[in-house]
Amino acid sequence: MKFEVMDRSISRPLPPEELVEAGRQAELFRPAPDVWEWIQSVYLEEGAPLINYDHEHLVAADVAVLWTTAENIRHGRQIAGTAEIPNVKGTRWAKARERDQLMQWFGRIPEFLITLDAVTAAQDEDLNFCALCDHELYHCGLKLDRHGSVKYDRDGNAQFALRGHDVEEHIGVVARYGIVSAGVERLVAAALQTPLIAPAQISIACGNCLRA
């Protein structure tokens, strides 16, 4: 599917027909190597149309993408995407089972796993899909020490970690007390400027943010 952003023509990958046809009737998962290739060409590579230097560390990261049709509703909204570090939680067998599944899907254990809802993606506006992918990439962060410096392993490779929200505050607190932190100040400033890419229309329902 082709669309225009900032005078650049972009085409985006759609979920496989098999998943779109199955819809919510079947809880399917399918690897999406084409989506990771698309993400690299749209956000990460030099000259990419929506290049985002905040994700620069992901050029060297091993990221895998998965489509799903499984329903996942939280706070009344279907989750459109999640980002996780796979194979870190669970019992020994649960982890071994997950490793086996990841090997079957990807032939490796990726450093980050992004899961996208195929049903939402098939119907979504192109820009919303772009905003969702950008959002999930922001969760794929670097591990920092308590001084805010990047942590490296013994081989000198930067270590990865899931990254939370930039801003943690209640709307009610801001309404009552104003701009109470530097994070809120930066969010307000960002919201008031013209969007660097273009305005997306629907809010992002992300599984990492919409915690139960």
- Residues lying near Zn ion in the complex (CB under 5 A) are found at 206, 208-209
Cβ distance to Zn ion smaller for residue 61 or 209: 209
Phi, psi (rounded to 5 degrees) for 30: -140, 135
Looking at the Cβ atoms of 21 and 166, the one nearer to Zn ion is 166
Nearer to Zn ion among residue 68 and residue 208 (C-beta): 208
C-beta of 132: minimal distance to Zn ion in Å?
9
Closest to Zn ion by CB, 150 vs 209, is 209
Q: Is the CA virtual torsion 124, 190, 56, 168 positive or negative?
A: negative
Q: Is 208 left (phi over 0), alpha (psi -120 to 50) or beta?
A: alpha
Q: Cα separations (Å) of 54 from 18, 41, 141?
A: 34, 15, 9
The CB-nearest residue to Zn ion is 206
Distance (Å, whole) CA 85 – CA 19: 24
CA pair distance 205, 132, nearest whole angstrom: 8
CB of 206 to Zn ion, least distance (A): 3
In the complex, the smallest distance separating the C-beta of residue 210 from Zn ion, rounded to whole angstroms, is: 8
Please, what is the minimum distance in Å from the beta carbon of residue 26 to Zn ion? 26
